[in-house]
Structure 1
Amino acid sequence: MTAAPYRTDLPGPSGDKYLGNLHAFSSDPLGFLTDCSRRYGDVVRLGENNVLLTDPADVEKMLVDRDSLFSKASADTRRGSRRQGFPHSTMNSDGDRWKAKRHRLQPAFGRSLSTKAAEIVDAQGEKLLRTWLPGQARTLQDDIAVVTLRLVTQLMFGDEFSDRDTAEVARLVAPIMDLSTSPVLLPEWVPTPRKLRIRRSMARIDRTLHDLAASPAAHDPERAPVLHALVHGTPAPSPEELRDELATLIMAGFETTNDAVVWTSFLLARHPRIAERVRAEADAAFATTPAGLPRMEALPYTHAVVRESLRLYSPVWLTSRDAREDLDFGGYLIPAGTTVTVSQWVAHRDPRFWEEAEAFRPERWLGGGPSSVPRGSYFPFGLGPRVCVGAAVATTETVHLVADIWRRFRLELTTPDRVHPRPALALQPVGVEVIPRPW
């Protein structure tokens, strides 16, 4: 028990008499969290059992120093249903159970997987870009989704999905990613249209993943290191655990890379001088450097562009944990059971720590990055023990695909004013329609 004299009168918006801040959050989550951080300070009461932390030191303390004092909290685990989430996955596990799962997966995500990713992404990018015609409008989110889904399945599971399977899985992922768009949790037995769509999608995903786990690639650690690590792990995973692991790996690898590439391309389309520099660097790198990680090392400016894009539009925009015991942050008492939240969207745009916080300035990441920015101010892949296991692979994929697209085409936004972020389980770009133009 944390001793006094910590304060308990946390500042924060009072909200509606009956619904509290539910309406304000659900109607504009990004604006609501930003306003709370600017108006109420570093520790904000969002609701009866919800707190937002905005001080980078507290962010680091929560995710790194005090990680063991929190349990995983997410939309999936709070719902606690196999039909509406993936509770048996590493992503949604805690304690010793999480450590065992992470230990089983970690070796498969080494440097060799990043090398393989760099090689595969070039081929998949080439396949996509051959279908683009100069002057023909494209919905960028849909096009990149096909590439990233093929990439993640081939990279992790040894086999590239067919066009039909790719379209099917992409269609099924959408309602699952929709899980967090409504914070109102009705009883499980209430057959809402959303729940019915999710249940149908889960059933189809189960069938697809069952076939994947039974494929010959599961027995080949060179061809499919991630799948092999799961299927042949110790102890052997249950069928439910295996399905949940495969589902979360596909969705995390597919959705976050997809969003990162689209957001980066959106920013480059709005900043032609930066785009020209990316094109020049990519031209030189593709002409003189073989595919793979050596090419990644030849793209430092493009890497800086991606890092800056992840600052402004991190696909992971919110991270929450449940306090296992009474804790103190910023001089305030946080009772056990409180859901404590940190927001990449808020932290990455905090003007206290970022010069020209709203501006797209890739050069801030050159030469090792901004040394004056606290560690807890930038965490697109998380921090501490639970940092994303696939962070290096995702970065490699994003940098290579952005370089390949922009060395071939200059993308023109058809309706730039209609582009906006949709904060679901990931920060999805909406309305990014582009016209490829030759340089």
Structure 2
Amino acid sequence: MAVRTLTEMPGPDGGRVLGNLTDFSADPLGFLTQCARQYGDAVRLSPKNVLLTSPGDAVRMLVDRGSDFVKQGPGTRRAGRRQSLPLSTMSSDGDEWKVRRGRIHGAFGRELSAAAAAAMPDQAERMLASWRPGQVRDLQQDVSVVTLRLVTRLMFGVEYSDEEIADVAGLVAPIMDLSTSPVVLPEWVPTPPKVRIRRHLKRVVRTLEQVTASPAAADPKAAPVLYALLHDTPAPGRDEIRDELATLLMAGFETTNDAVVWASILLARHPEAAERVHSEAEKALSEDAGGMALLNAMPFTDAVLRESLRLYSPVWITSRDARVDVELGDHLIPAGTTVTVSQWVNHRDPRHWREADAFLPERWLGKETSTIPRGSYFPFGLGPRTCVGAALSTVESVLLLGAIWSAHRLRLKNPDAVHPRPALALQPMNAEFVLERW
């Protein structure tokens, strides 16, 4: 089979000046989907950008040939934009990444997930205590309070206050806004989002410094993630600790919130599935199953989350830069090329998924998904860089989803206004819910 070079790959021509940037910026999800359907497994998006849509190529890039790609090469750093929190595990590569990942990996094990399962019912009950039928709720905001209280308690041994939670939310929002802008100004230009980011980051960092000095930081059971980071040898520096903790905080905050809200949107649009989640969760909660037993008693709710992550994965796109010339299948990728795979595209590929655009949670209860190729479903990534908090996020999301729908039926206030915003995470926009009785 002949190997195709980058210039020989098919792809949209775009305009002479901006290429495909205009079309991508206007509708990233639609643009990538159309490219995949029209041009196949390897699509040339620009002289330095390639989209891969084959599940096998996703595995080869992220797993088999992972060392041939870097996350933060020059192709993935947009001109004029400084890399934020550069000393975190998420922002590092190579040996640095291995060291940083190794520090915290063990802390995100079964014990942390079990602790989350044990603590979630009380946290959910605190949220639901003020809910009344007829109210209109911003579920994203409600869920963010629960997830941040739980995550900070589990990772740092200290539960954040409402004011500290507002600071994290105030930091994440302008970061998301900035990530959607097609115009990149120099770092020194004080745009409103950058001003808000700096203001809230100072507050978040101040809180994190207090957390690292708290008595809980010396207790591996009370604060396993914080303890693992602070007591590593050699000890990381102050700036590295700051970047790591801030990144973990924001990553756990945004993706879990989005996952729960997207799943609730789908349940609001599919009453039969909502009834089934309600019955299952109500029964499990009434039997007073605790911890992981409660999670195991809600297989359909778990299937709803998995199907929601398929259709609306908060991580919707993943890019790497080729460190060297790489041959993937019949494609030759030159060094310096930014190579992209998209969860949005692969999760909805009709070649591999029955009724690919349909919400079918039951597909996860039998053997149907066992035949899906690896690389067709990767909401938390693939290979060594799979999200370290994947299991924790799943436990939180399933139990919170069950608690919400056991207590109330949720109706979308304005169903036609709900839409995805592909920022750093795939955010559900205009998702206000009216609470109703069962």
TM bin, normalised by shorter chain, reads: over 0.9
Contact 1:77 1:92 in 2 (8 A): no
2:349 aligned residue:
350
Please give the per-residue CA displacement for 1:304-336, whole angstroms capped at 9, x wherever unaligned. 110000000000001011111111234121100
Return the alpha-carbon distance in structure 1 between the equivalents of residues 234 and 249 of structure 2.
22
1:211 aligned residue:
210
Return the alpha-carbon distance in structure 2 between the equivalents of residues 89 and 19 of structure 1.
33
Q: 1:317 to 1:50 in 2, by over 3 A?
A: same
Return the alpha-carbon distance in structure 1 between the equivalents of residues 404 and 263 of structure 2.
11
Return the alpha-carbon distance in structure 2 between the equivalents of residues 335 and 81 of structure 1.
24
- Could you list the runs of 5+ residues in structure 1 that have no partner in the other structure? none
2:240 aligned residue:
241
Return the alpha-carbon distance in structure 2 between the equivalents of residues 93 and 80 of structure 1.
19
1:7 aligned residue:
5
1:196 aligned residue:
195
2:421 aligned residue:
422
Q: 1:79 to 1:20 in 2, by over 3 A?
A: closer
SS at match of 1:375: coil
Please give the per-residue CA displacement for 1:205-231, whole angstroms capped at 9, x wherever unaligned. 222222222222111110010111111
Return the alpha-carbon distance in structure 1 between the equivalents of residues 342 and 73 of structure 2.
13
1:316 aligned residue:
315
Question: 1:64 and 2:63 equivalent?
Answer: yes
**Quick one: which amino acid aligns to residue 228 of structure 2?**
A
- Could you list the runs of 5+ residues in structure 2 that have no partner in the other structure? none
CA RMSD of aligned residues (A): 2.0
Please give the per-residue CA displacement for 1:344-391, whole angstroms capped at 9, x wherever unaligned. 001001111111001000000003551221111000000111111111
Return the alpha-carbon distance in structure 1 between the equivalents of residues 128 and 103 of structure 2.
36
Shift of 1:77: 7.0
Runs of 4+ in 1 over 3 A off after TM superposition: 4-8, 73-77, 79-84
Contact 2:168 2:200 in 1 (8 A): no
Shift of 1:7: 3.2
Describe how 1:278-297 pairs up with structure 2 within 5 A: 278-297=277-296
Question: 1:393 and 2:410 equivalent?
Answer: no
Please give the per-residue CA displacement for 1:269-327, whole angstroms capped at 9, x wherever unaligned. 11111111111111221122422111111111111110000000000001011111111
Return the alpha-carbon distance in structure 2 between the equivalents of residues 22 and 77 of structure 1.
15
Return the alpha-carbon distance in structure 2 between the equivalents of residues 286 and 392 of structure 1.
21
Shift of 1:25: 1.0
**Quick one: which amino acid aligns to residue 236 of structure 1?**
A
Describe how 1:231-310 pairs up with structure 2 within 5 A: 231-310=230-309
Return the alpha-carbon distance in structure 2 between the equivalents of residues 93 and 270 of structure 1.
40
Please give the per-residue CA displacement for 1:212-251, whole angstroms capped at 9, x wherever unaligned. 2222211111001011111111221111111110111011
Return the alpha-carbon distance in structure 2 between the equivalents of residues 375 and 414 of structure 1.
38
Contact 2:127 2:142 in 1 (8 A): yes
Return the alpha-carbon distance in structure 2 between the equivalents of residues 369 and 121 of structure 1.
31
Contact 1:73 1:322 in 2 (8 A): yes
Q: 1:74 to 1:141 in 2, by over 3 A?
A: farther
TM-score (norm 2): 0.96
Return the alpha-carbon distance in structure 2 between the equivalents of residues 215 and 80 of structure 1.
39
Shift of 1:79: 5.5
Return the alpha-carbon distance in structure 2 between the equivalents of residues 277 and 139 of structure 1.
23
Q: 1:75 to 1:141 in 2, by over 3 A?
A: farther
Return the alpha-carbon distance in structure 2 between the equivalents of residues 272 and 324 of structure 1.
49
2:119 aligned residue:
120
Shift of 1:80: 9.2
2:139 aligned residue:
140
Count residues with an aligned counterpart.
Answer: 437
Contact 1:256 1:426 in 2 (8 A): yes
2:437 aligned residue:
438
**Quick one: which amino acid aligns to residue 300 of structure 2?**
Y
1:410 aligned residue:
409
Shift of 1:180: 1.7
Contact 1:83 1:202 in 2 (8 A): no
Return the alpha-carbon distance in structure 2 between the equivalents of residues 329 and 59 of structure 1.
10
Return the alpha-carbon distance in structure 2 between the equivalents of residues 293 and 44 of structure 1.
43
Describe how 1:100-179 pairs up with structure 2 within 5 A: 100-179=99-178
Return the alpha-carbon distance in structure 1 between the equivalents of residues 395 and 350 of structure 2.
29
Please give the per-residue CA displacement for 1:58-96, whole angstroms capped at 9, x wherever unaligned. 111111101111101489972599976111100111111
TM-score (norm 1): 0.95
